[in-house]
Each structure stands twice: as structure tokens, then as C-alpha cells.
Amino acid sequence: MADIDLTALTLEQKASLLSGRDFWSTKPIDEADIPSIVLTDGPHGVRLQKGEADHLGINESVPATCFPPAVAVGSSWDPEVAQEVGAAVGREARALGVSVLLGPGVNIKRSPLCGRNFEYYSEDPLLSGVLGAAHVRGQQGAGVGASVKHFAANNQETERMRVSADVDARTLREIYLPAFERVVTEAKPATVMCSYNKINGVYSSENRWLLTDLLRTEWGFDGAVVSDWGAVSDRVSALAAGLDLEMPGTGGGTDQEIVDAVRAGALDETVVDEAVKRVIALTALTQELDDTFDVDAHHNLARRLATESVVLLKNDGAVLPLQSARTIAVVGEFAAKPRFQGGGSSHIRPTRVDAALDMVKEHAHERGVEIVYAPGFSTVDSGNAEDLRAEAVEAAAGADVAVVFAGLGEKDESEGFDRADIALPAVQVVLIRAVAAAARRTVVVLSNGGVVSLEGWHDDVDAILEGFLLGQAGGAALADILFGIAEPGGRLAETIPLRLQDVPSYLNFPGEQGHVRYGEGVMVGYRHYATVGTGIRYPFGHGLGYTTFETRDFAVEITGDDTATVTATVTNTGSRAGKHVMQVYVATEAGPVRRPARELRAFTTMILEAGESRIVLLELGRRAFAYWDIELDRWVVAPGDYRIQLGQDAATVLAEATVTLAGDVIIPVLSFDSTVGDWFAHPIAGPALMEGMSAAMSEEKRAQAVDQQEQLRMVESMPMKQFMGFLGGAIPVEALEQLIDASKPASTI
């Protein structure tokens, strides 16, 4: 589309482009050749509504493939999986006439209680950012704009439209912003969606630091900022802060507010013009294409990607895969009525749904295996729980192995509300224990959007498959894994705790009286558990397979200014092909801030045939070693030792190498408000100060200098301007002022 001459548009026309025509589309200006475009929900499928619109998944949408949601893709640890999901939903969006598909969501899983965790990848910002960037590349490579969301610090559903996320600068920079930064700088999404909540008292939609200073100036984002649906509180303030497109439409009400503000001199028209240019740029995403997509091919793709995302948590006695069982009892309502996606705005109307029971029967028939099914429990009626349980126990007692399908129903977790606990429904816990007591061997298959507790039954069963939510082909994928046709390819993207009370955000989530305090700071997820030593059920990064791997020749080499490379040789030592995830963590005590025990800094995923070896090289850039310094307001690499760790998971270190980095030499600028400790530790002022004090002392006083050094520890936190009274004039004020000047960089003197 040719460039639009904004001088040909009236102020009213320009303002009209900055809000929606209706729920899902923008306003056209036909005489200026500006088309309307459609934005609609994603990210793991296209939720396009042709009839009555809503943003909570209540009303019907057109059929589309429901691919594995982010909770599953996160467990794949595989950017290729994320990119394939993005590309496929992009193809379907194009076929359905959608220009911008909303997603991916890269918010951090601060608490397992967040009702929308099924739509987010991980508790770790590196993993979330790598997968989110891959999804955007895939989707936009198919010609459909992405909208990375929800920017930022949207980590709960409770009071999400008005709560203030109170987060310190270091925690924001190290935990809650890096995934967005990576997606923006590496994948260049067409839009960024601002979140509903406030950040430190300022709505995200009106937060100029967030939307302009950080996003545009620092990160270089040149796309459009769109509101979450209904997130704008003050339209003029939001536009001035950097929010371009308000969705959904308001019937022209907020358009008039923009016009009035410009004419009153409260808003510069150039701000309107810049926003209009960015919105018009989105119309270039509109393309004429065939109105069909290959439904069967996409379903098969969804099936393959789902297998990459299933996590084998436990497999005692190699009960899986099911190769020797002649009779299998399948138990649990979810086997016949699968739970495969979350509720709310990302709720897809699938083109078809595979039930695990049907696919298990299909595989069993090919092998001459008998299948007995018992629902075991009901998610809608618990009145006959005892009868259902008795039937299931009888089936399990007569089988070689029992496979129990358990998890959470859609009513238990959805957009709009947070969970109250992480327990499985009590009726399911009782069922699992009863079946395990009766069966020779027991496998539990879980379907849930957020982490569930395994306590009370974990030790009673032989194997556990954590499927999370796998999309419409999840039932087939689970059957493939149960029978060994496919390898369980997943690793946990979040920690499974022993107790909800052990979660680092427990005392602060979801806040009170309009505020949620991020009091755990950077100690989120595995960072907390590894640092404090709290017991957990399964660590971040954990996942078993049907083969074995060995990693040898682990080595680290410094390659430049505070950068390094990691190399190792990985070998599949088992008898079948399998997936391996190489995880590299960094640990250090260097610097003035408390660091987590270890942090994921690089990873890669590989498929190796039996006996195959591969040499792996991973880069560690400066950011792998840096912390955010709140005094300098920038990333800093502290001089010192850094332990580079090869992790089986976040709790298990297989090999380690130490490198010493020169780091950033920071010479602090002193003032009379600086503490006594800062003054005496200063590389320039400290020695001069000690020399001056020593020269002013009598010989008797100098003999007591050792005692005075100890006494200085008692006052090291005192500001110098208060300590001067204790010096008795030993050092003149003028001398201290000269030392202050000497501490300043040459360019500031």
C-alpha cells in the first residue's frame, strides 16, 4: 500500500484510526484508501468470531486447529516447536482474513495459582523469551502480525484490571521484562499489547516509561502498541504515553476526546500523527489468499508437536512404554472427554478432537491388547463417586496395568480468576490411591493448565506423565507416548513444589487493597528453591525419556570481554532415538547484590539416534553474567569468579567449570550523603582518607589504629556528613570536597 499523506486527513479522521470500529476490526477510511483490518485472539489457534463478539471465549467462533497451548510448548524447550505453532496459526489466520493474531503471551509464571498460566511458557525469562521470539518469527513469516502480550507484569488474574504490581527495578529488568525485550529486539513483532494492570501505581496503558522510554527508545520498537481489550482508563493520557490503538471500539467517544485535547492544546497533533502512521502500517499485513487450510495436515502437526511437550516425571521399573501388558485398564473421565485447552479469550473451537481412550484402543487393537474402560469419576456429578470408584478398582485389579487420566476441569482454571490451591480434586486423589492399591502397576496421566500437587499419591504409582494441555490432538499424542510410538520429549518449564506454602510468592500473591507486592524479588521459581534449599517434588528442567544420554568433555572458554563459549559432547547411550535438552546455568557471588544460586543462561534441544554423538557449542554473552544495577541504572558484570554449570535440571549439576571475568570497573561518585563505608572502600578517596586521618593522629593514637579500624565498622553505614562531627576536624571539609571531585569521571568535572 502506498504511503498515506496525513495532511489529506482531518484531525477527526486521524483520531478515528486510533480505536476500533467494533470488537475485532479497525476503522477504514475508504476515500484515503485505508482499509479495515481484523485483529483476533490467539495464540495457539485462531478464535475468529463471525457473530456476537466477546473476549472471554463465551460466544462461538469459527472452527480452527487448537494447537498445544503455551504451557505445553514451554515444556518442549524447543524453539522449533514454538515456531511451527506460530507458522501454522499464521497460515490459518491468513486463510480466515485475520491480519493480527493476538499472542504469544510471555508473562512469567510467578505463582502456580495464576489462572492464565496455561497461556504462558515458563517461570524463566530466557526460556519464555526464546520460545516467544520463535513463535513470532513463525507467525509473521506466514504474513500475520503478532501481538506479544501482556506488557508488563501481568502475572495474576485477581483484580487484573486495576491492581498495581509493585515491582522494584532490578526485579523488573531481570525477571519480568527480558522475555519481552528478546521478542521485540530479535523477532520484531507487529504490535505489543499493554496489560490491564498498573505497574508501581501507573496503568500500563498510561505508562510513558514502559511504552515509550523503554519499549521504543531503549529497545527500538517501531510497531504499534495496542491495548488489551478494555485496558484504557484515560485515552488522552494513554496516547501521550505511547499507546497507539485502543481496542475494542468505543463508538467514537474516545476519538472525540483526542480531538478535543488537540484543539485545547493539551495534546500535540504530532503525537496523533505518529500513532496514526503506526496503525496504518498494520494494514500492509492484509493479503489476498485462499480461504482454506489443510485441516488434516494441521491436525497431524498438532499431534506431533504435542508429543514434544509431554513430560515423563516418573517411570519406576520402566513401566512405560506399555509393551508387555496384555490387559490395560483405562480409568478417568478425561480419557474419554479430554481436557486440552484453557478457558477464556484463547478458547478455540477445534476442527476435531482426539480422545485418548479412542487412540489407546486403536493402538491396543493393533497389538492384540485388551482395553477395559471405567470413568472413575465425573466432573459434573459427584453423587455416584463411590460407584464409579468401585467400578474402576475392579477394572484395575483385573488388568496388567492401570492408566488413570486425571487433572483439572475447565471450570477449575481460566482467564479471569486465579486458583485457590494446587490440589487435584479430592475425588481424583482418592481414586488414584484406590486404583494403585488394586493394580499391579499404575500410570497416571495428567491434564492441567497449571501445576498440580502430586502429594498424597505420588509414591503409590509407578509412572506419571504430565501432559498439561496439549491441544486437540493431545489424546492421540498421549496414546503414542504410552505405547512407545513417540518419545516423551518434554522438560518442566516450571517447578512442581511439595506445598503451595513453599512457593516464593506465597505470602504476597495475589495482594491486597489494590496492590500486589513482588516481595520475593528476583527469587522466582527455581531461583528461590535452589538458593534457599527448599525441598521440591520435581525441579525446573526435569524430564525423563525412553532412552539415556551421556554428556562428556564439558569445557568453558572465555572468548572476549566477559563472554564465553560452552562446549560438550552429547551421546545417546540407549537403544532408541530420543530427545535431549542441554541446560547451562551460571552461578556467582560476585557483585554487591544477592544472586540466585544458579540461573539458566543457555540451552539447546537435540534429537539423537541410538549411539549418535554430537558436539554442542553454546554462547554466553555479557548478559549471561550481568545483574541490573539500580544505582547505575544499567546492566553490570561484576568482576569475579563465575561457575558455569551443566545441569541435568535446575537442581542437579552434572559438571562445572569456573571462569574469572574482569567485569566492569565501577568507581562510585562520592558525596557527603555517601556512607563512611563507601568513603573508606573507595579506590581513590579511601587511601587518601586513611592517610589524612593517620597524619592527624598522635603517635599514641596511631598505636590504637587497629582498635579504631574495628570501631569504624560500627559507623560504616553512617552518612559522611554526620560522621564529620566525629572526626574532630582531623580532615578539613575542603579536603573532603577535593576527594569528591576526584571521584567523579573526568567528563563530569
Q: Is there a contact between 121 and 127 (Cβ–Cβ < 8 Å)?
A: yes
Q: Is there a contact between 637 and 625 (Cβ–Cβ < 8 Å)?
A: yes
Residue of 409, 401, 450 whose CA lies nearest to 428: 409
Whose grid coordinates read 486403536? 362
Whose grid coordinates read 515456531? 83
Give Cα 467 to chain centroid, integer Å. 18
Q: Is there a contact between 603 and 583 (Cβ–Cβ < 8 Å)?
A: yes
Q: What is the DSSP letter of 183?
A: I
Q: How far is residue 436's CA from residue 327's CA, in Å, rounded to a whole number?
A: 16
Q: HEC string of 289-311? A: CCCCCCHHHHHHHHHHHHHCCCE
* Adjacency order of strands within the sheet including 202-203: 202-203, 198-199, 164-166, 515-517
Backbone dihedral region for residue 342 (phi beyond 0: left; psi -120 to 50: alpha; all else: beta) = beta
Provide φ and ψ at 173, rounded to 5°. Answer: -70, -35
- Please count the helices (runs of H) and the strands (runs of E) in the chain: 23, 26
> Which member of 228, 462, 562, 629 is catalytic?
228
228 is annotated as an active-site residue: yes
Q: Is there a contact between 171 and 518 (Cβ–Cβ < 8 Å)?
A: yes
Q: How far is residue 181's CA from residue 398's CA, in Å, rounded to a whole number?
A: 55
Burial 166-185 (b: 16+ CB within 10 A, else e): bbeeebbbbbbbbbbbbbbe
Q: How far is residue 520's CA from residue 504's CA, in Å, rounded to a whole number?
A: 6
Q: Is there a contact between 228 and 258 (Cβ–Cβ < 8 Å)?
A: no
Q: Which residues pair with 641 in a beta bridge?
A: 660
Q: How far is residue 230's CA from residue 196's CA, in Å, rounded to a whole number?
A: 8
Angle 417-422-428 from CA coordinates, rounded to 5°? 110
What number of other Cβ atoms are within 10 A of residue 606's Cβ?
Answer: 16
Cis peptide before 515 (omega within 30 of 0): no
Q: How far is residue 521's CA from residue 171's CA, in Å, rounded to a whole number?
A: 5
Q: Is 512 exposed, middle or buried (0-12, 13-18, 19+ CB in 10 A)?
A: exposed
Indicate if the alpha-carbon torsion angle 493, 498, 502, 508 is positive or negative: positive
Residue of 212, 228, 204 whose CA lies nearest to 271: 212
What number of other Cβ atoms are within 10 A of residue 704's Cβ?
Answer: 12
Whose grid coordinates read 517447578? 495
* Adjacency order of strands within the sheet including 613-620: 549-560, 563-572, 613-620
Provide φ and ψ at 206, rounded to 5°. Answer: -115, 15
Active-site residue numbers?
Answer: 228
